[in-house]
């Protein structure tokens, strides 16, 4: 038996990517981990191969240096950077590697990048800064609650850190080429039914607060003297709900540009909610030690289902603002990105409107 291995009722499966594929095929929740179509399934396979044959292979010199003391050749960095340059270009216009949701392609590539960032002590941080889109993807996967849970269970961290002294029994992964077409088509049929489900927000009674009108005020007038007073004069607590939000893993925010990338990815995945939401996200504190906080307005009472389904939502603690008028000063400061109720200096802000 080779490791890593998965014991199933039918028998054992070994090698990381084979296990990933098996889990994705068996997944029944509609998450589309193997893509939403036959073509996307093939793209997932493409990136699994890339993770193994490009990133893992080009990281091997640093793995051997960290665990066995083998000297690293002077030109060992170049092939790795060439691979990451291709990944960087692909992610220039994409949040995820395949489609609009996370798949096992993102997971495989992120954990291959984990070796590149953690074992390459001399160049790991430089790689993160040079290939920002690749690091954004890596950061998105690594900050998923389940990923954080597993990493903490094993005492692991993520980012460009020095390699541990004891070797772990992890080897470059061998590839198997399964036939994914049938399974990808089965996965495709389920989400189609979900997409046809009517949005309950569209069935709500008309509200006296017109969100688009407020967005125009916010975009075209002075925030503190015009847009904020407009909000409080017209806000309808029966038709809308406001929330504070705070990122759960603020202690892990080490670089401002990475946190900004996290916000950009979050807002991209909220695109289908734009009609029903307005939000402010603020990065407050210092460049290498800061918090991500925000204020949101959502259509309807409570947290809308289409918002709670966005993968980033569970990365935040949410607190409903019960009395908007009582929180007028703090809400105004958040809308203005400055003010005495914000406890730390605002490094940058982003508006979802």
Tens digits of residue pLDDT in 176-234:
555 555 555 555 555 454 455 688 899 899 999 999 999 999 999 999 999 999 999 99
Of 210, 173, 229, 218, which Cα lies nearest the Cα of 299?
210
Mean pLDDT of the chain: 85
**N-terminal to C-terminal alpha carbon distance within the chain:** 54
Cα distance between residue 300 and residue 317, in whole Å: 19
pLDDT band at 159 (very low <50, low <70, confident <90, very high): low
Mean pLDDT of all residues in 277-282: 96
H/E segment holding residue 195 = helix 181-195
Cα distance between residue 193 and residue 89, in whole Å: 34
Cα distance between residue 105 and residue 113, in whole Å: 12
**pTM of the prediction?**
0.49
Options 2.60.120.10, 3.60.21.10, 1.20.1050.10, 3.20.20.80; CATH for 5-154 is 1.20.1050.10
Mean pLDDT of all residues in 257-269: 86
**Domain spans, the chain:** 5-154, 206-352
| 42-63: pLDDT as tens digits | 999 999 999 999 999 998 888 8
| 295-316: pLDDT as tens digits | 999 999 999 999 998 888 989 9
Cβ neighbours for 218, distance < 8 A, ≥ 6 positions apart: 227, 231, 278, 335, 351, 353
Task: Tell the residue number behind the tokens 């009517």, with chain if given.
Answer: 198
Give me the half-sphere count of Cα atoms (radius 13 Å) on the Cβ side of residue 52.
19
Tell me whether the CATH fold assigned to 5-154 matches the one assigned to 206-352. no
Options 3.30.1130.10, 2.30.38.10, 1.10.220.110, 3.30.70.1010; CATH for 206-352 is 3.30.70.1010
Q: How many other C-beta atoms lie within 10 A of the C-beta of residue 266?
A: 24
Of 49, 52, 76, 74, which Cα lies nearest the Cα of 62?
76
pLDDT band at 167 (very low <50, low <70, confident <90, very high): very low
Find the range with the poorest average confidence among 34-38, 143-147, 329-333.
143-147
pLDDT of residue 151: 73
| 312-329: pLDDT as tens digits | 898 999 999 999 999 999
């Amino acid at each position: 038996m080779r490791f890593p291995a998965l014991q199933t009722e039918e028998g054992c499966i070994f090698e990381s990517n084979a296990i990933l594929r098996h889990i994705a095929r068996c997944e029944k929740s509609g998450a589309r981990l193997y893509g939403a179509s036959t073509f996307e399934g093939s793209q997932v396979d493409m990136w699994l191969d890339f993770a193994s044959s490009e990133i893992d292979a080009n990281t091997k010199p640093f793995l051997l240096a960290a665990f066995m003391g083998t000297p690293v050749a002077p030109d060992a960095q170049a092939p790795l950077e060439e691979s990451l340059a291709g990944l960087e270009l692909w992610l220039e216009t994409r949040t995820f590697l395949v489609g609009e949701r996370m798949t096992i392609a993102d997971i495989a590539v992120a954990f291959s990048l984990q070796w590149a960032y953690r074992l390459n002590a001399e160049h790991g941080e430089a790689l993160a800064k040079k290939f920002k889109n690749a690091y954004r993807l890596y950061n998105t996967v690594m900050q998923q609650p389940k990923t954080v849970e597993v990493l903490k269970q094993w005492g692991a961290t993520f980012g460009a850190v020095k390699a541990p002294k004891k070797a772990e029994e992890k080897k470059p992964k061998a590839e198997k080429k399964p036939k994914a077409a049938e399974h990808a088509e089965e996965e495709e049929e389920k989400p189609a039914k979900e997409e046809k489900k009517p949005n309950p927000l569209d069935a709500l009674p008309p509200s006296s607060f017109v969100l688009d009108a407020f967005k125009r005020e916010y975009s075209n007038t002075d925030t503190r003297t015009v847009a904020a007073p407009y909000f409080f004069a017209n806000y309808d607590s029966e038709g809308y709900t406001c929330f504070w939000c705070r990122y759960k893993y603020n202690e892990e925010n080490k670089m401002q540009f990475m946190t900004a990338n996290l916000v950009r990815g979050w807002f991209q995945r909220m695109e289908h909610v734009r009609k029903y939401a307005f939000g402010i996200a603020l990065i407050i504190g210092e460049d290498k030690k800061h918090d991500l906080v925000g204020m949101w307005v959502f259509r309807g009472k409570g947290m809308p289902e289409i918002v709670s389904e966005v993968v980033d939502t569970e990365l935040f603690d949410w607190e409903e603002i019960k009395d908007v008028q009582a929180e007028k000063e703090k809400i105004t400061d958040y809308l203005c990105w400055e003010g005495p109720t914000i406890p730390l200096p605002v490094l940058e802000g982003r508006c979802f409107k």
